[in-house]
Amino acid sequence: MSKALPLGPAPELRGRLALVTGANSGIGFAVARRFARAGAEVVLAVRNTARGREAARRLGGPVRVEEVDLASLASVRDLCDRLNAEGRPLHYLVNNAGILAPPRRTLSPDGFELQLATNHLGHFALTGLLLPLLRQTGGRVVSMASLTARTARLSPDDLQGGTYHPYAAHGTSKLAQLVFALELDRRSRLRGWGISSNAAHPGGVVTRLQVTGPTLDGHRAGLLARLSTRIYRLPGLGNDVARASLLPFFAATAGRAEGGAYYGPAGFAELSGPPARATIPARARDARTAARLWTASEELTGVVFAGSGD
């Protein structure tokens, strides 16, 4: 068990802008609610705008909905073009949206494995294209990883290769997000971008993702998905959505939350509890892997971070 970090007083975020992907339900919605209650203006970046508008209605306050499909680089560019044209400085970006374990290998509109495209490449492109707005505020980027990253493998030179296994592919995509988050902070400090980047994972939590991911195309949830949802509902072995949402919110807003850090629950096996330092897998600490992943992600998305050639 890790030592829980002091939470401190609730932040006052009036006048600040936060963007949360996948914010119409689950952890994303709960994170957006925390931002809204702290006084921030919140952009709900969602694929389904009807559900997004319903989420905005439930939240109330200065909340707006923007359409984006993280699996489509064209959609990501459209959103970023709109936001950059508007020119509003961005204080917080929470890369939360994700897809979990489609039973069959499915390709994105750009020809990438769907989990890699949605969970990592879409967020990589989104962050890079919004970097000018984040640099105006010294903003903080939080990327959502997962416990599955602990045992995942990552081959930056062949991100989509090999036999498809739904949960192995999910782990790879989440490990990529973790590596990206840490490398983004390192490059920001090296290049003087002035932003901060860290990562968080929610522990064991049951959300709509466990249902929609393994039931893509109408398939029934797999045994592992059904088993995990039952385990995570046991006392001490999982967070509810509200408590899980505290992890990325803490990583985004807490004064003691640091760039280049990884946060997870303080409880047994990092499954439940308040925020604490999470264990960074050895593969996520490898500098060569991080550099290769960054280069591969730029090549696949066509997005080069502003100033990266300085």
Q: What is the mean pLDDT of residues 139-147?
A: 97
pTM, 2 dp: 0.91
The winner for highest mean pLDDT among 125-139, 202-216, 261-275 is 125-139
Cα–Cα separations (whole angstroms), residue 125 to 116, 236, 274:
12, 36, 31
pLDDT, position 238: 59
pLDDT, position 1: 64
Using an 8 Å Cβ cutoff, are 159 and 189 in contact? no
pLDDT, position 206: 62
DSSP 238: -
Chain centroid to Cα 229, Å, comes to 21
CB count within 10 Å of CB 266 equals 19
Nearest to 184 by CA among 239, 276, 120: 120
Q: What is the mean pLDDT of residues 180-184?
A: 98
Q: Which of 5-19, 208-222, 276-290 has the lowest mean pLDDT?
A: 208-222
Q: Mean pLDDT for the chain?
A: 90
Which amino acid does the sequence have at 1?
Answer: M
